[in-house]
Amino acid sequence: MNHNDDVLDAGTGSGIAAIYFGGVVKTVKTYEVRPEFSTLAMKNITESKLTNVEAVAADFLAAEGSYDVVHLDLQIQPEHVTHAYSLLRSGGYLACYTPFLEQMAIVVDEATPLFREVHTHELIEREMTRSKRGTRPSTSVSHSGYVTIARK
């Protein structure tokens, strides 16, 4: 992403991704279908004082326009990937965060015939412990997530 990009974000939650993107790009339009999260996101975006971020309390599938990047952080269904493709400019990117392998598979299966490039990366969060003997991952539970990037 860069200062010339128009970004559509969906699955706004508290608005943290939209606010972060707003500090980098030209415009952000973020969609959140859950009223309680939409209200919280709008409050957080207002407090951020970013004038280039617009929050919309609606389903992503109602989104219109043309974007350089579409970011999805929601319970992705095949129609979300197809709709994202229709909103992207040529050379644009779809970025999807999915916490489950099944969700990641939906993204990859739907994106592969549409996009010219599709790549998925696993992100692992583990606590590290350090002692006199050395440093190693904690034996406590770790967390995985998957980021899929597709280029139109």
Task: Quick: pLDDT tens for 108-152.
Answer: 999 999 999 999 999 988 888 999 999 988 877 777 899 999 999
36-68 pLDDT, tens digit each? 999 999 999 999 999 999 999 999 999 999 999
Cβ count within 10 A of residue 105: 14
With 0-12 CB in 10 A as exposed, 13-18 as middle and 19+ as buried, what is 49?
Answer: exposed
pLDDT of residue 112: 98
Q: Say which CATH topology domain 6-151 has.
A: Rossmann fold (3.40.50)
Residue 19 pLDDT exceeds 90: yes
Mean pLDDT of 22-44: 95
* For residues 65-77, average pLDDT: 97
C-beta of residue 145 within 8 angstroms of C-beta of residue 135: no
8 A C-beta contact, residue 123 and residue 73 = no
Q: What is the mean pLDDT of residues 22-43?
A: 95
- Summarize the chain as % helix, strand, coil (round to 5): 30, 35, 35
Dump pLDDT digits (tens) for 76-102. 999 999 999 999 999 999 999 999 999
Quick check: 12 pLDDT over 80? yes
Residues 27-34 have a mean pLDDT of: 96
Q: How far apart are CA 135 and CA 66, in angstroms?
A: 48
Half-sphere exposure of 83 (CA within 13 A, CB side): 17
